[in-house]
Structure 1
Amino acid sequence: TIKVRFRGITGSGFESDIALDDIKLVDQNTISTTEFESLTDGITIYGEDHLVIQSHKESIRDIVVYDILGRQLFNEIDLHSNKLEIESIKKSNTVLLLKITLENNHVVYRKILF
């Protein structure tokens, strides 16, 4: 938390005081879909026009995709594959929540902008 204080003097002998706190610094830059990050769990999510999920270490068993309102957009069980292309989810610059269950029962949660 950073506290910033502004002090101003107006007129003859009149002082005013303004204090601000709880300022948030937000980075407005976004990563393009051609740039991606493969974290230690080995899951990569990318795509130009449709969503692609790839696991480099362990096969994907199940995957569920939700929108930011919690509506289920996609559900695939018993997939047993290292790569999944979801044609039904088109790029629309919206936040998606993914629940990916790997073959070793490890569950990976991701929040992406797609």
Structure 2
Amino acid sequence: MDSLNENLKEVCVYDVLGNQLYKKEGIENKRMSIENLGVSNQVLFVKIILENGNGSSKKILF
């Protein structure tokens, strides 16, 4: 995940049932990656919160 202007504050990954699969707080960087999530071939939702408080959610196929 990348941010052009703001540092990432928090990243969460959820499955389609709303179960939280991953959470990382205090990132304080404009880029991060998730290794070994342990899931495959399913739809996931990624929620990103920036340090300025703005957020975004994306649906991905992983």
Task: Report the TM-score when normalising by structure 1.
Answer: 0.50
Moved more, 78-87 or 88-97: 88-97
Structure ranking higher on relative contact order (CA contacts 8 Å, 6+ apart): 2
Larger radius of gyration: 1
- The one of 74, 78, 96 equivalent to 2:44 is 96
Where does residue 56 of structure 1 map in the other structure? 4
Report percent identity of matched pairs: 39
Task: Report the TM-score when normalising by structure 2.
Answer: 0.85
Unaligned runs of 5+ in 2: none
Unaligned runs of 5+ in 1: 1-52
- The one of 40, 54, 78 equivalent to 2:26 is 78
Moved more, 55-64 or 86-95: 86-95
Displaced runs of 4+ in structure 1, greater than 3 A? none
Cα offsets for 1:79-108 (capped at 9, x unmatched): 111111111225622111111000110011
Cα offsets for 1:46-94 (capped at 9, x unmatched): xxxxxxx111221110011101111111101111111111112256221
